[in-house]
Amino acid sequence: SMCSMAHNYYVTAHKPTGVHLSVSGNFTSSSDLNVIVAKTTRLEIHLITPDGLRPLLDVGVYGRIAVLKLFRPQGLEQDVMLIVTERYRVMVLSYDSQKGEIVTRAFGDVEDRVGRPSETGIIAVVDPECKLIALRLYDGQLKIIELELDSGRDLRAYTIRLSELHAVDMDFLHGYPMPTLALIYQDVNGRHLKAYELNVKDKDLGKDIWSSRAVESEATMLIAVPDPLGGALVIGQESVTYYTEKDHIAIAPPEFVTSPVLSCGKVDADGSRYLLGDMQGRLYMLLLGKEEQMDSAPCVKELKISVLGEAVVSSSLTYLDNGVVFVGSTYGDSSLVKLMTECDESGSYLQVLEVFTNLGPIVDMVVVDLERQGQGQLVTCSGAYKEGSLKIIRNGIGIQEHASLDLEGIKGIWPLQRSASSESRYDDHLVLTFVGHTRILAVAGEEVEETEIEGFVDNEQTLFAGNVTEHQLLQVTHARVRLIDSQSLQMVSEWQSPSGRNISVVACNVTQVVAAVGCDLYYLEIHAGEIRQSSHMVLEHEVACLDINPPSGDMNRSDLVAIGLWTDISVRVHKLPSLESIVTQPLGGEIIPRSVLLACFEGTLYLLCALGDGSFFYFLLDPLEGTLSGRKKVILGTQPTVLKPFYARGTFNVFTCSDRPAVIYSSSGKLVFSNVNLKGVSHMCTVNTEAYPDSLAIANDTTLTFGAIDEIQKLHITTIPLGESPKRIAYQEASQSFGVCTTRYEYMDPAGSDKRQQRLSASLSAPNISDSLDSEIGDGGAASAAKKAKDGSGKPGESGRPLRVPHGELVEMESFLVVDQHTFEVTHAHHLRMREWAMSLASCHLSNGNTYYCVGTAIVNPEEPEPKKGRIILFELSDGKLTEVTSRDVKGGVYSLVDFNGKILAGINNAVCLFDLRDDMQLELVGKGYYNTILALYLKTKGDFILVGDLMRSLTVLLYKPDQPDLEEIARDYHSRWMSAVEILDDDCFLGAENSYNLFTCQKDSAATTDDDRQHLQDTGYLHIGEFVNVFRRGSLVMENLGELAAPVQKPVLFGCVSGSIGMVATLPQSLYLLLSEVQKRLTKVVRSLGNIEHNFWRSFRNETSRYPSQGFIDGDLIEMFLDLPRPAMQQVTNGLQIMEGGMNRDATVEDIVKVVEDLTRIH
């Protein structure tokens, strides 16, 4: 039963980044070569160009993508795409280049009411003639779809029983007259390979084509080799074998023993070469050496494998052409790699062309405000194995600093190309102006020195300086406009106001000048050797700001001038050269406009206007109709703001100079405001010098900085590679550091010596290293080995190793690292014992007033179902070095730790216990603890309340009673749910994520009349998100308090997922929730999904035991799609919607809904 409704908004703040499937082919047209990438629930389609990958489309799928294949039915010019989702929806898609969109050609639902889903997931293969799709979804059965495109009917599948219950992999063989299916299957005697003919007429299996034969016990991949060779490759943990009907050839490279193959990709269309990728990121080339025979088809004589080099640990390998391979990864960054014919000095044949950042798998994360600007940053534990790293993610754009000079009081900066007639396209001077004087800097290489240019006045403040038409230079001061010849550097023409009064505001481009003297406006044109006044007008009020930026970058003149006025606080647009008015727009309020700009983003003309208090208006400008429409307001800062246009990587952007600098850019037709990682900027200009090409010169009160701008995107990501897997992170403000627990993998040498293969990673290369090897915890001789190592009698690298570890086995070594928050360097690594795993980590401010890092561990023995022993270790940090303060042995694994009112709260196996640090520095148990869980994996606290997330028993709420010291259960959710993360939304509402990719909310009903009802947590919300959530953290990535910009959401919570996506859940006011649920209902009818999957099917909560329709959550990803709809569809969604205004309901307009949705896009 639902007690009261939850009102939550769910949205993806960062799309998934881990690539689990990729294919290439001619999808968007018969001549385009595409690479198509699946990232959990999203499809990205790229075009392969000589310059790398060009993104064409990025679309969401209403499901987790389990299968992605391209194939070409007979008679088609281009490939079609097969997708199967994890909830058993099948679709065949193609691309319509006229409409520029993906079209569903066939779709269907192949789910069974009964049937045991196979452990090896969903397998789907298409026969060589492209007429059949075979699916293995459940144990002991096959489904066959006879493919029909555009039939308008759902795809139908028939079922064939398989006597082989556990199929591991399957594929259609080539070169047989009937469809022939080969499969690897597992039974009590190991794994086997077999091939059947499919009898399409009788809808059953025909005769055995290949009789059953044993294959390697760990064989996982089956790949049919195309004609003319035919046959199949079987890839196992130790070998690769090529099978034909009668014969087989095997190869067992020694590298495979320590590192299994994870991915495989075909290189040649005829299947004579394949790429393989292993767990250490090595790429191999597998060659099928063939022998041509006179009278029959060629056959394979031998297999050859060669190591190409080390890339990223891959999940998919897709060969494109010209030796270029797309390496997709879920463990690290994906990349585009070129196979070289010659090796480099390190012996590698691989050259990385392009890298695509992946945040996944996000195992843990913290939200911190390192710059104290009210803007959160996320630091995540990302990647696995050698790809492990910390990622620092923040909203906004980074400026990479090249150099800086100490200069106070700069009032303006402009680039200048003095040698304007020469071939050089580089700027070689910078003009700087101060109150009452002007200075010129010559820039040569990285050197900057002060110089003079003859024709320039230096004892006045400059309002504008720059290169203008006909190889001339222009300088405007309060007194005059001066034109200077760039060869002779002499002044050739000047203009002063007829009244002799000073110029107050000026705007220039390469051929035009507009100057204001009080209320007088003069329009001047620049010719060779002459400045000519062309027109003049008088305005009602004094001019506050002007702009004549040519709307498109290749034009050197503007036929419009934008004007901001004092007194009546208005902006207006006038024509040039006549200066006649086109449109006037009052802005309201008391604050004057300080900067106006005519800007053309993505072909749309805008008028931008910034005021003296940091607020900012923008309008759509139609100069022909003489209209300004779609007025929007955003708060960009608190100080007067100056707008400066610039180009980065060929696209137009605007830099806002203020106390909170930002870049304005356009993305899919919407203006996006992205913060810049600088404290405050008073002036900026672009500079393009030899040493600093395409850079920015940025001035604040004290400094001039040269820097390059990062890629312009919503989130800025910095990677700190660790070379091993990070699993827990905590932030400690007192010591300005992060604590990180990591795992590195080492191989015991199979030959039997004690040497281990080690890769130099963070825990082995820290400047300070300590370890926990001295004490005897059932460590099988580790302590004596450690003593031997310390007195030098032992061999290096043997310290503290139990000698029972079998050789050739992978051992996991765990460490606790300290990372400096400013440099992000590892300052100390503490190695845990052999088989001791770090399970949890917290920074705790304890009752003695000190702050400690607290690490919870488990001693893991393979023969025990759960750990019997563990430790809680306290470390103190000073000058980047750790000292172990104390440790306490406990009877289980310490799965979770939380700083709790000056004490330490721990989840230890099935118990939740509280510890206090005594004066003698020992940890002491407080009270009895709470024991009614299976495994207390997750803990969150608020005041004296504790939320426990259980391995399989959902959520429990405890209350700490300090006077009794005890933990008392006050409410629990009685459903069986396998939790993956939990969070407290407020005193009565709790959020959970579980392992079937769902979110749910529960509420404790404090007002209930019976104890029984009070002790039940009631479900209030359900949502399927298709993402496995590892961690919830309170906080947000956007600047707090952005005036009337942000939608009224409360208590934002961010979450990190295995796929690398970052989501957000926030609470909505009821009125907004009701409006959005109505918009959502209408959008589901307007937005077409791929494969015709219904939105309510996609978002419904499902796990092994129960199904519920989605409720209590708004799907923000769908809501945001409103902004991409064509206008008629927007109108259709808006018709009949009511909106509250001044306590009254009225009909909503499209503009109302656009504003609501745009505000929501800015909360993440």
CB-based contacts of 188, cutoff 8 Å, min separation 6:
none
The CB density around residue 1050, as the number of other CB atoms within 10 Å, is 11
Contact call for residues 129 and 74 (beta carbons, < 8 A) = yes
Query: Residues 835-876: pLDDT tens digits?
Result: 899 999 999 999 889 999 999 999 998 888 889 999 999 999
CB 673 within 8 A of CB 397: no
Which range is most confident: 519-533, 711-725, 1028-1042?
519-533
pLDDT of residue 778: 36
The band of 1060, judged by pLDDT with boundaries at 50, 70 and 90, is very high
Q: What pLDDT is attached to residue 1044?
A: 38
Amino acid identity for residue 993 in this structure: A
Burial profile 34-65: b = 16 or more Cβ within 10 angstroms, e = fewer:
bbbbbbbbbbbbbbbeeeebeebbeebbbbbb
Q: What is the pLDDT of residue 783?
A: 35
Describe the crossing of helices 1127-1134 and 1070-1086 by its angle, rounded to 10 degrees.
130
**In this model, does residue 24 exceed pLDDT 90?**
yes
Sheet holding 412-416, edge to edge: 412-416, 429-434, 437-444, 447-451
Q: What's the mean pLDDT in 547-574? A: 87
**Alpha-carbon distances of 287 from 233, 351, 596, rounded to whole Å:** 12, 21, 64
Weakest-pLDDT range from 400-409, 512-521, 770-779, 967-976: 770-779
**Based on the number of CB atoms within 10 Å of its own CB, is 930 exposed (0-12), middle (13-18) or buried (19 or more)?**
buried
Compute the average pLDDT of residues 646-663. Answer: 85
In this prediction, what percent of the chain has a pLDDT beyond 70? 93
pLDDT tens across 1090-1148, in order?
999 999 999 999 988 889 999 999 999 999 999 888 889 999 999 989 888 777 888 88
Q: How many residues does the chain have?
A: 1164
pLDDT, tens only, 279-315: 889 999 999 988 877 777 788 889 999 999 999 999 9
| Residue the block writes with tokens 């803990």 | 939
Q: Which two tokens stand for residue 157?
A: 């599948």
For the cut 50, the answer to whether the pLDDT of residue 788 exceeds it is no
| 1012 band by pLDDT with thresholds 50, 70 and 90 | confident
CA end-to-end span of the chain: 33
* pLDDT band, very low/low/confident/very high, at 879 (cuts 50, 70, 90): confident
Q: What is the b/e burial string over 750-777, where b = at least 16 CB atoms within 10 angstroms of the residue's CB?
A: eeeebebeeeebbbbebeeebebbeeee
Q: Closest Cα partner for 100 from 61, 57, 38?
A: 57
Select, from the ranges 411-420, 799-808, 939-948, 1046-1055, the one with the highest average predicted confidence (pLDDT): 939-948
The pLDDT of residue 553 is above 70: no
Structure tokens at 578: 């006549």
Q: What is the mean pLDDT of the chain?
A: 87
- Average pLDDT on 807-820 reads 82
**Cα–Cα–Cα angle for 1124, 1130, 1132, rounded to 5 degrees:** 145
pLDDT in tens, 133-181: 999 999 999 999 999 888 888 889 999 999 888 999 999 999 999 999 9
Give me the mean pLDDT over the 534-540 stretch: 93
Average pLDDT rounded to a whole number, residues 771-788: 43
User: Quick one: DSSP state of residue 999?
Assistant: E
pLDDT at 329 over 90: yes
Identity of the residue numbered 230: G
What are the phi and psi torsion angles at 296 (to 5°)? -140, 180
Answer yes or no: is pLDDT of 77 > 80: yes
Give the pLDDT of residue 292: 79
Asked whether residue 953 carries a pLDDT value surpassing 70, the answer given is yes
- Other beta carbons less than 10 A from residue 833's beta carbon: 23
Q: What is the mean pLDDT of residues 812-820?
A: 93
Say yes or no to pLDDT of 787 above 60. no
d(C-alpha 195, C-alpha 198), whole Å: 10
Q: How far is CA 337 from CA 292, 325, 355, 385, in A?
A: 32, 5, 9, 20
Q: Does position 781 have pLDDT exceeding 50, yes or no?
A: no
More confident position, 729 or 752: 729
Query: Which pLDDT tens digit goes with each residue over 395-408?
Result: 777 787 888 889 89
**What would the pLDDT profile of 900-939 be if each residue is shown by its tens digit?**
999 999 999 999 999 999 999 999 998 888 999 999 999 9
Confidence at residue 935, expressed as pLDDT on a 0 to 100 scale: 92
- Name residue, tokens 């004066």: 919
- The mean-pLDDT minimum among 192-196, 755-759, 1129-1133 falls in 755-759
- Highest-pLDDT range among 427-431, 598-602, 841-845: 841-845
CA-nearest of 740, 758, 743, 764 to 824 is 740
What is the rounded CA–CA span in Å between residue 478 and residue 458? Answer: 12
Cα–Cα nearest to 618, from 580, 661, 554, 571:
571
- d(CA 764, CA 760) in angstroms, rounded, equals 6
Q: Which pLDDT does position 785 carry in this prediction?
A: 34
